[in-house]
Structure 1
Amino acid sequence: MRYATIVIRADGGGLHPVDWALYTDPVVTRETIQKINLLSDGTFVIIYELSGDLLHAEELLSNHPDIITADVTGEEVGLTYMHLEGNFTVKALLTIVQMFEFVLDTPIECTEGCGVRVRLIGDDATLQTAIATIPDPLEVTLEANSDYDPTLDDVFASLTPRQREILTIAVEEGYYQIPRRVTIEEIADALSLDSSTVSEHLQKVEACLVHEMIGSKL
């Protein structure tokens, strides 16, 4: 079994008008998509994790023409259930999931540029075909393609919130690419932290990951 991690972005308007409205709002932040399902009538349901001013989010969503129903729970961080009118982009992506019968791993991480980071689980040939089928208007970046290891989810969950935050920024900004696209100091500036603090957290994260991946084999 294989998994592929891809980032999907759409130019000018995002994946869906509601997603774009949330992304461009200055007091609401898209965190993750917990669940998403395409219905037989072409509409779809989605559960977002949002942070920020959720009272404002509720008002924003209640006035959006593409929303059939919406329910926001929480104050500064919460979940939002929405039943939405479908559009070409979302229908295409969810139809591909159904067509190739692979698993769309959740939660789906919301990224900068109104994109999403998606992990697909299935056999290698199916994953490659499915990724190639994603329609041209969407920009697709393959970040990882390797054997699926569910224990990695447990490792990530075991990190502290601060460690997860720093690791996510480090990966997104290219700290682990070759050559590195960002320094410890730049990550620290982005998070308003001391570089020594960021370095210490990343060392602990890396030690944890190495131990979980190979420690039991030594």
Structure 2
Amino acid sequence: MRYVEGQLTPDRGWFHPIERRIQQAPGIENERILQMQLLDDGTVTTMYELSGDREVIEFAAEHMPELITYQISPMQDRIITYAHVEANEMLQGLLEIPQKFEVVPDFPIEFVGDGSIRLTTVGDEAQIREAMAAVPDGITVELEKLGDYAPENERLLTRLTDRQREVAQIAVEMGYYDTPRKVTYDDIADEVNVAPGTVGEILRKVESRLLNALLG
């Protein structure tokens, strides 16, 4: 079984109007798509992971005509939103690809800025390539990795944002997790050019997400 990881970028900056409306909400960020399914009636059920103020998210949801139903649940440092939405042409075209080419998108799917997502697709290599070629017009595809599928590694790392992975990697390389510790938040902060408090916040989130994934 093979996988391909790539970045999909919608030319207009969003795949579905709900994402555009989230982008416009102050202080709210799309983090990941935890699950998404195209239903027989052409509507879509999805679970988004968001960051930001729950009250702002609830206010934005009340003004999204594309929403059929929704639920919002805060969970530690993130907010999980279930949404049943009307599909648009682009989203429907994307969600029909796994059925047509017998490939499997590996959730969660990470947002990487400017409306782009980083997607891992699993299946036969020839079918994966055909699936990538069938991505609807208006979406730029940039393939980044191809190899044998290792779900335990891929799933764990996709729980972290690019910035979280970067800071965690530097912390490991500098010896923050050695016994005894070789560096402090201040040392790491100098390397990544952020405040020490921000380093601590990022590493706590990394530890929380990885431990929840392993033990939760």
| 1:71 equivalent in structure 2 | 71
DSSP-derived class of the 2:42 partner: coil
Instruction: Give the letter aligned to residue 94 of structure 2.
Output: L
Cα deviation for residue 156 of structure 1 reads: 3.3
Kindly indicate whether the alpha-carbon contact (under 8 Å) linking 1:169 and 1:187 is maintained by their aligned counterparts in 2: no
Give the TM-score of the pair, scaled to structure 2.
0.73
Residues 126-205 of structure 1: pairs in structure 2 closer than 5 A: 126-153=127-154, 156=157, 165-167=164-166, 188-189=192-193, 191-192=194-195
Instruction: Give the letter aligned to residue 166 of structure 2.
Output: L
Kindly indicate whether the alpha-carbon contact (under 8 Å) linking 1:58 and 1:71 is maintained by their aligned counterparts in 2: no
| 1:178 equivalent in structure 2 | none
Cα deviation for residue 136 of structure 1 reads: 2.3
Kindly indicate whether the alpha-carbon contact (under 8 Å) linking 1:54 and 1:77 is maintained by their aligned counterparts in 2: no
| 1:21 equivalent in structure 2 | 21
Kindly indicate whether the alpha-carbon contact (under 8 Å) linking 1:104 and 1:120 is maintained by their aligned counterparts in 2: yes
Indicate whether 1:32 and 2:36 are aligned. no
Cα deviation for residue 150 of structure 1 reads: 2.1
Cα deviation for residue 60 of structure 1 reads: 0.3
Separation in 2, partners of 1:77, 1:151? 22
Cα deviation for residue 163 of structure 1 reads: 9.6
Separation in 1, partners of 2:118, 2:190? 23
Deviations 1:20-46 (A, max 9, x none): 111232311111111000011111011
- Tell me, which stretches of 5 or more residues in structure 1 are unaligned? 171-183, 202-218
Separation in 2, partners of 1:169, 1:115? 23
| 1:58 equivalent in structure 2 | 58
Cα deviation for residue 13 of structure 1 reads: 4.4
1:163/1:11 CA distance change after superposition, 3 Å: closer
1:62/1:122 CA distance change after superposition, 3 Å: same
Cα deviation for residue 144 of structure 1 reads: 0.7
Separation in 2, partners of 1:13, 1:164? 21
Cα deviation for residue 141 of structure 1 reads: 0.9
| 1:6 equivalent in structure 2 | 6
- The size of the alignment, in residue pairs, is 181
Separation in 2, partners of 1:107, 1:187? 29
Indicate whether 1:124 and 2:128 are aligned. no
1:27/1:154 CA distance change after superposition, 3 Å: closer
DSSP-derived class of the 1:93 partner: helix
Cα deviation for residue 98 of structure 1 reads: 1.3
DSSP-derived class of the 2:119 partner: strand
Instruction: Give the letter aligned to residue 192 of structure 2.
Output: A
| 1:173 equivalent in structure 2 | none
Give the TM-score of the pair, scaled to structure 1.
0.73
The sequence identity of aligned pairs, in percent, is 32
Kindly indicate whether the alpha-carbon contact (under 8 Å) linking 2:8 and 2:142 is maintained by their aligned counterparts in 1: yes
1:164/1:10 CA distance change after superposition, 3 Å: closer
| 1:212 equivalent in structure 2 | none
Deviations 1:151-209 (A, max 9, x none): 3237638x9x7997043899xxxxxxxxxxxxx999713x4459xx8xxx9xxxxxxxx
| 1:210 equivalent in structure 2 | none
